[in-house]
Structure 1
Amino acid sequence: MRGFLLLILTLMAGCEASSEVKGCKGGWVEFSCKYPKEGNIEDQSTEVDRPNKPKIVSSVKNMWENKDNISLFHDTKNKRLRVVIRELRDEDFGKYKCKFFQRQGSKHDTKEQEIKLEKEDDICKRLFNQTAYRNAKTTITCDYPGNKYSSRVKFFCKDKGSTCEDILSTKSSPLTNGTFTLTNTNRGFSVSISNVSSQDDGVYWCGLKPKEGSSRAATRRIQLKVQDITTSRIFSTVGQDLTFWCIYPNGSSIKKFICKGEDPSVCQRLVSTAQRNMNTGRFSMKDDTTKANITVTIRNMRLDDNGTYWCGADSTDPGRSDEFFHKLLITVDESWLTLVIAVITSGAVLVLVFVFCVVFFCKRSERLRNARNKEAQENNDDHSYAEIQELPQKPNSGTALKTVYATANFPTHPSASILYSKVILPTCSAEVKGDTYCTVTGNGQSSACSTVNQPSRLSEDHL
């Protein structure tokens, strides 16, 4: 675990500076040794004495060097040596010395700074494993007893390689950074992460540092694990009773509960199996251990029942967050009409569009089929009447035409464009000279052709 860092800087004989640092066993601390004002920075090398262990010598600039649980970084830009001691153990507490070796002409000069690392117990907290759920919100809490540390700067950082990268602190302005928001509380502070993603998975630290100086230490380690959760969307109307159920995994705690809120880590409990009476007002719960599910009923739904609900189980480990196994998005409205609109906006519009397309094309196909049937019916009447104009039967009759009517049977399988029929006329008289011409006009819009046999004798009656 990380410890609290208290830095007291004093000047001592021989230009030696001393500081005091307090840290938690299992945690980490970070402090800095300033470069001497004289001399060429590029020519410097450093030696770090540590209690009960060999010295560490470093001359690499602007790059982390790791040795056991100690990391060194020569920061030439800010003219300091950064020292990080991780996973503090009992043997790590004691006196440390930063020794700077540099050339002054033909001479070599040495400057020293001493740091005393002491053990802190009051604010040290054990590792906490917290589960966050993708696309939801989660809150990490960092508490400190009493007002002893109220004057210190509080910070929140994430492990990144050899150091912990700052995200937010109480000295930040504003107290937000992307999806992270820091909130001061009576006991310390909390940091919420909105719209959690897989990139948020990792190790975080809560910590304190003095208002002046670059030293710092952490007080709490949080292992954040991001995972998916089953999500359901439920619609209801005002005045209805709503019943739903959640399946929980094997090995879940005996105590199940339902809570409401965007953030499951701080959501409001509504009903729990830990209660003697699992019927609290409008909310009731039943735990079916044989089917491994809980059934929840909300009676007389109201508009303020809109929101996000979580099915969860109490953690039996104080170092681990509660377990959640189902997320429910409940929408309550006053009428079924607006409820249908809500269904459409929630994604069901695709289904409705598909149904509409199917109905539209079915109706269209039916209209086309009816039109074809009507046309076929008109073209398949039993008979069609044609007017046949015949040349005069006698030479002296002039050019006047005489009309002969005949009934023509249409073919059984007519063409789409031309109709054919055979018309048999009575035999014409021998007095008729030349060819006999006939034209047949059908009752449709298309042409109708007919083969006409010349009559062998003259008939007085019209055919």
Structure 2
Amino acid sequence: MRSFLLFLSLFTGCEASPELKGCDGGWVNFTWKYTETNIINIDVFQNKLSIIKSTQKDTWENKERLSVYHDATNKSIRLGIKQLKRSDAGEYRWETKPNQNSEVKLKVVADEGGCKKPFNQTAYRTAKTSITCDEGKKEDSRFNFFCKENGSICEDILSTKSALRSNGTFTLTETESGFTVSISNVSPQHAGVYWCGVESTEGSYRAALRKIQLEVKAAIKNFTRSPTIGQNMTYWCQYPEGAPVKKFICKGEDPSKCEHVVSTAQNTERFSMIDEKEKRNITITVRGVTKEDSGTYWCGAESKTETQSNSFFNRFLMTVVQPPTPTFPVSSTTTAFAESRGFSKNKRDAAAAQHDREDYIYEEIQERPLKPDSGNAINKIYSTANFPTNPSASLHYSTINFRNGSGEAAEVLMTNPSSSACEYSAVKDREIPTCSNVNQPSPADPLYSTVNKTQQQ
């Protein structure tokens, strides 16, 4: 079936008839006005042959592909013809009793005046989709409209006749070649047959430009990733059996008009695709991601025909983030020591924060292994401690962990309340008592702590 475009040409002279052009496969409505009252028994002729009659008011009367409506309130007669054929061309005339008549000529064409083939479009639940309506050359004598089939009529959704361009779900946007209508947050109720069309400014005719069969599929599979700036990232896209050969990735909220980024036929410097056909899986790699790479990406395949939209397999949401800022964990030793000194919560938090900073300026102390013949020899542990840059801080300490010969853990906590004196806490060892002497050399020399361990008698 082909959609159609209707044009109206008025000829000079009282007997001249309007000439209409319609496209093969479409529908057309044109309207006659009358001035008499009490009009009844309307008879419509094609080439002098009666094709449909109306004996009722304010209701549609149908006969095969024809429909007639007598609008008694507005004194008009509307004739509709569906699924136009070449044989529908000719002269149409209506007659009434009392005697009054009017006529129009119809020409049915296939590929003239912006006639478009019907289009099958696939949309995905919760996503966005856009329908393109290209009418060709614009004319000031007509408006654009967008409607949806509902039984024998096509219900208007939006029209350029009105200043309203959006109703919340549908949005009409005029372009150089026609107009587009986008549908946000697609749902199953949006599936159906739509028409793009034109209407004469005086309302004497309405005609469709294009037929769109909209199919709505279940919500597409989503992937979400948050790579760090500069990282390389890889993700995978599986596709069903029988999918078109040419696969691609595009970027944008609306898959029906998203911007192509890369395809299996041609990779770029930063984006690449590998199609593992036996597994029906595509591997997509993005090198050195940037903040500008954030957005919505679609993995799909190019349609084999111009009457079918591209198909998509999944949606990838990428948010590129800054590298994380290092954080310093608070140790349980810090909290326990502060509590043992009777510090308030605020002072404990301050001590913990100071300890966190110092954790990154001291060197790890490792215990020298005992020699087999060492007996009860004294083992010394040397630790180089760098003084903090803020000597007025109320608390500085280091934590020394080591193990004795039996594998038990021992711990030394040393505090430095000032730059001239050091305090220390007792070294706790479950089995072997331990003594700790802390000596502070001159400020020019490194600070050494000596830990003596004696065997319990």
TM-score (norm 1): 0.66
Alignment of 1:36-435 (within 5 A): 36-41=34-39, 44-51=40-47, 54-101=50-97, 109-120=98-109, 121-145=112-136, 147=137, 149=139, 152-228=142-218, 229-275=220-266, 278=267, 280-336=268-324
Cα separation, 1, equivalents of 2:271 and 2:49:
63
For the residue of structure 1 that corresponds to 2:8, the secondary structure is coil
CA contact (8 A) 1:205 1:222 kept: yes
CA contact (8 A) 1:48 1:57 kept: yes
User: For each residue in 1:371-400, what CA deviation from the matched residue of structure 2 results, as whole angstroms up to 9, or x when unmatched?
Assistant: xxxxxxxxxxxxxxxxxxxxxxxxxxxxxx
Cα separation, 2, equivalents of 1:250 and 1:38:
65
User: For each residue in 1:160-182, what CA deviation from the matched residue of structure 2 results, as whole angstroms up to 9, or x when unmatched?
Assistant: 22121222222321321221111
For the residue of structure 2 that corresponds to 1:246, the secondary structure is strand
CA contact (8 A) 1:17 1:114 kept: no
Deviation of residue 234 (structure 1)? 2.2
Q: Between Structure 1 and Structure 2, which shows a larger proportion of helix residues? A: 1
Letter in 1 for 2:279: K
Cα separation, 2, equivalents of 1:188 and 1:126:
16
Cα separation, 1, equivalents of 2:49 and 2:65:
12
Letter in 2 for 1:181: T
Q: Could you tell which deviates more after superposition, 231-240 or 155-164? A: 231-240
Letter in 2 for 1:161: G
CA contact (8 A) 2:138 2:177 kept: no
Give the 3 Å change call, closer, same or farther, for CA 197–252 of structure 1 in structure 2: same
Letter in 1 for 2:100: K
CA contact (8 A) 2:91 2:104 kept: yes
CA contact (8 A) 1:84 1:163 kept: no
Deviation of residue 336 (structure 1)? 4.9
Letter in 1 for 2:88: D
Deviation of residue 335 (structure 1)? 4.3
Give the 3 Å change call, closer, same or farther, for CA 244–285 of structure 1 in structure 2: same
> May I ask how many residue pairs the two structures share in their alignment?
322
Give the 3 Å change call, closer, same or farther, for CA 281–8 of structure 1 in structure 2: same
For the residue of structure 1 that corresponds to 2:292, the secondary structure is helix
TM-score (norm 2): 0.66
User: For structure 2, which runs of at least 5 residues remain unmatched after alignment?
Assistant: 327-457
CA contact (8 A) 1:17 1:113 kept: no
Deviation of residue 46 (structure 1)? 0.7
Cα separation, 2, equivalents of 1:159 and 1:17:
34
Report percent identity of matched pairs.
Answer: 51
